Chain A
């Protein structure tokens, strides 16, 4: 998204995985993100409820 052009490597910041165009599209694709919104909320609810007795 904001990445500066780098090609030569040999610095820490040149080695991590960088998302592909499809990956970046899915991160902003509303129908998919709405599903993820509910899935993530459910996971969080589950860990709150399961965390105390």
Chain B
């Protein structure tokens, strides 16, 4: 009997655990360690943040699903990995701490044959003074944050209804933050809601971003066919912003937030401020802070994890100039080079470098987006890792024949505003591959047949459809495995 432990019931880890359960017989144990009792479909948090959905519509309890499927669920936080065991236990194990009522604070050593780390990001609000729900801005990164954002947004909408002007600032809250797509979507939704109430004349909406140009999205932008031209996503994104009445500040690294004031530095080294009444800024991401120790109890975290806290996998981490970057640097099996029975998928793996060109301001501050690992690639990685682990368990020998590199994978980002079948509008963006491949596509870096930017109701329907479809899939209801990641 083998024991497979998955850390983190997010898009990537939940996919992995369900695939493992499907592929492995009941004699093998599949364990999920995750602190939240609920699964959350994060993309729909945007709708929670504008009051179109209640938090309960984007979540469901995990325990009944795992019970039905035979997954051993431990509502806990993974603290330390012991890949070689310790002086008392010879098998590898992970030390966890329960957060579940009744067991809170209890520790346990969970042994494993294979370990999959899918713990996603730590929302690093602390890296920017005054940022986040405990500071002066709101967030939509969790359903709790999104519900709080809606409360704050309502206060501004109420003030506008009484005739007061309001300033909205939405974007990235750290010089190296990623997830621009989510912030962009929220900005459009806020504009849509204000316009719906016919209050646009009282609103000043500003998009603040660390991107060199709008439409970079941490992927170095993309090129799409539009109106008889191949145009950049810069034009596409700026056009949407202008249409929605949103101004922008680009190449800006937010460094500090005070009550009603954001301090930022731009690439030309200038320090500026912008005042706000309502602000939603995405924090920087880091690894969740899991440690690693060897048999003797010495800290080996630096051997397993990159300095940003994400787990090192089969990527080429050799520092290289931007011009020498290649899709070959990107991992495809997500296996730790140090321990062959440890894997990391989704946001938890350490990317070899950014996808966008790294820039430093005149004062030396790095201001550029780190690479996004969006939902679709995170799900695919979870599946591929689970398939390799399941086959390794069955054959008794570790093998990694299933592969999925971000240099060969596509991603879809649907930025949708409004709600309902007739009311909404979306900008659908797909890129293929995520990491541009200038060897295969020398001119544009990507396949122009599958790299698309298109506004319209169709994308909005897709977003709604995906909400119900992916929650159905995550609940492991009949036919779930036929729904793609």
Contacts and interface: CB of A to CB of B under 8 A. Distances in A.
A28 to B, nearest CB: 6
A3 B247 CA distance: 11
A46 interface: yes
Contacts of B425: 1, 27-28
B458 A4 contact: no
B410 A19 contact: no
Given A30-B457, A33-B457, A40-B428, A13 B239 contact: no
Contacts of B450: 43, 46-47
B246 A13 contact: yes
Nearest to B434: A51
B430 interface: yes
B242 A13 contact: yes
Interface stretch (B257-265, B347-355, B376-384, B389-397): B376-384
Contacts, number: 117
A53 B402 contact: yes
Interface string B465-479: 000000000000000
Contact of A40 (B195, B201, B402, B458): B458
Contacts of B316: none
B248 interface: yes
B458 A33 contact: yes
Interface residues of B, number: 48
Contacts of B455: 19, 27
Interface in A35-53: 36-37, 40-41, 43-53
B432 A3 contact: no
A50 B484 CA distance: 12
Could you tell me the dominant secondary structure of chain B's interface residues? mixed
B410 A36 contact: no
B430 A40 contact: yes
B24 interface: no
A16 B235 contact: yes
Nearest to A17: B239
B321 interface: no
Interface in A5-42: 11-19, 26-28, 30, 33-34, 36-37, 40-41
Nearest to B449: A43
A27 B410 contact: no
B404 A53 contact: yes
Nearest to B376: A48
B143 interface: no
11 contacts: A2-B191, A2-B200, A3-B242, A13-B247, A15-B238, A19-B243, A33-B457, A40-B458, A43-B450, A48-B485, A51-B408
Interface of A: 1-4, 11-19, 26-28, 30, 33-34, 36-37, 40-41, 43-53
Nearest 4 Cβ contacts at the A-B interface: A47-B410, A51-B409, A52-B404, A36-B458
